[in-house]
C-alpha cells in the first residue's frame, strides 16, 4: 500500500509526535513523516524531529502577534484574505461577541498563518496532524489546507471524550466534573473549537484513588495508541 505523507504541527514536548514517528518507522502504519512545524521556537518536540531527520521549521506566533498588536495598521495581510468571509465562517466566538475583538483576532492570526502556510506549502503532504499545537486556526488557514471540501485533511487529538469538554483542559475538566470514564478523541478540524467530525476515541476508567496526574498519564497512553490508528484509517480511506 502506498504511504501517505504526513506533516505535524506541535507547540510543546511532542509525545504524540513521537508515537506517530515510531509507528511510521516500524511500518505499523502506512505513513511517513515529511515535516514538523511549531509556533514555539523552544518546543522540545522539535528535537524529536531532528533526531529522526525529519525536516522542521518554526513560525514564531508570539513574536508575530506582539508585532501586530503594537502596529496593527502596518500589518501585511495576504492578498487573498477576505475578512468578511472569514467573519461569516468563524465559529470560535459566539454571535454576540464584539466584532472588533473577533476582527483583531482573525487578522493577527492570519498574519501568522500566512507565514505558516508558506512553510507548509514547500512540502508535498496528504495529511496535517496537530500534535499538541496550541493555536486556533482561522477559516483562512483551514480553507487553504482543505482544498477539497469533501476530503478534509487536518486532524487533531483532544484530551477528552468529545463533544464533552472541548477547550484547553480536557483531562482537568473531566476530573473536576467527577466523571467515572475519561478518554481522548481524534477529530477533523473545522471552523469551531474541537467541533469537527469525530474519527476515533479511546476510553479509560477513573478510579476513586485517581488524581489529575494519574488521569493525564492514563489519557496520554491512550492517545499514543489512538493517533496512529486514526492516521492508518485515513491512509486506508476508511474515514
Active site residues: 158
Q: Count CA atoms within 13 Å of residue 124 on its CB side.
A: 2
Q: What is the C-alpha to C-alpha distance for residues 220 and 169, in angstroms, rounded to an integer?
A: 13
Phi-psi sector, 237: left (phi>0), alpha (psi -120 to 50), beta:
left
Q: What is the Cα 197 distance to its own chain's centre?
A: 14
Helices 99-120 and 61-70 pack at an angle, to 10 degrees, of: 140
Q: How distant, in Å, are the alpha carbons of 14, 19, 134, 140 from that of 25?
A: 16, 10, 26, 33
Amino acid at each position: 500500500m502506498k504511504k501517505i505523507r504526513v506533516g505535524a504541527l506541535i507547540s510543546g514536548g511532542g509525545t504524540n509526535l513521537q508515537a506517530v514517528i515510531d509507528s511510521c518507522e516500524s511500518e505499523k502504519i502506512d505513513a511517513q513523516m515529511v515535516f514538523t512545524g511549531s509556533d514555539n521556537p523552544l518546543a522540545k518536540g522539535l528535537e524529536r524531529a531532528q533526531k529522526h531527520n525529519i525536516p522542521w521549521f518554526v513560525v514564531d506566533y508570539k513574536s508575530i502577534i506582539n508585532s501586530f498588536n503594537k502596529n496593527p495598521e502596518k500589518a501585511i495581510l495576504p492578498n487573498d484574505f477576505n475578512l468578511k468571509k472569514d467573519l461569516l465562517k468563524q465559529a470560535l466566538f459566539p454571535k454576540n461577541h464584539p466584532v472588533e475583538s473577533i476582527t483583531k483576532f482573525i487578522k493577527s492570526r492570519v498574519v501568522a498563518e500566512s507565514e505558516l502556510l508558506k512553510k507548509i506549502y514547500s512540502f508535498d503532504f496528504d495529511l496535517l496532524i496537530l500534535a499538541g499545537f496550541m493555536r486556533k486556526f482561522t477559516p483562512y488557514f483551514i480553507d487553504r489546507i482543505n482544498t477539497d471540501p469533501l476530503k478534509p485533511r487536518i486532524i487533531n487529538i483532544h484530551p477528552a471524550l468529545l463533544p464533552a469538554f472541548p477547550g484547553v483542559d480536557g483531562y482537568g475538566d473531566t476530573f473536576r466534573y467527577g466523571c467515572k470514564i475519561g478518554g481522548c478523541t481524534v477529530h477533523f478540524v473545522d471552523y469551531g473549537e474541537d467541533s469537527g467530525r469525530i474519527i476515533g476515541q479511546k476510553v479509560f476508567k477513573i478510579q476513586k484513588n485517581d488524581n489529575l496526574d494519574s488521569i493525564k498519564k492514563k489519557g496520554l497512553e491512550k492517545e499514543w495508541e489512538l493517533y496512529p490508528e486514526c492516521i492508518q484509517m485515513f491512509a486506508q480511506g476508511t474515514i
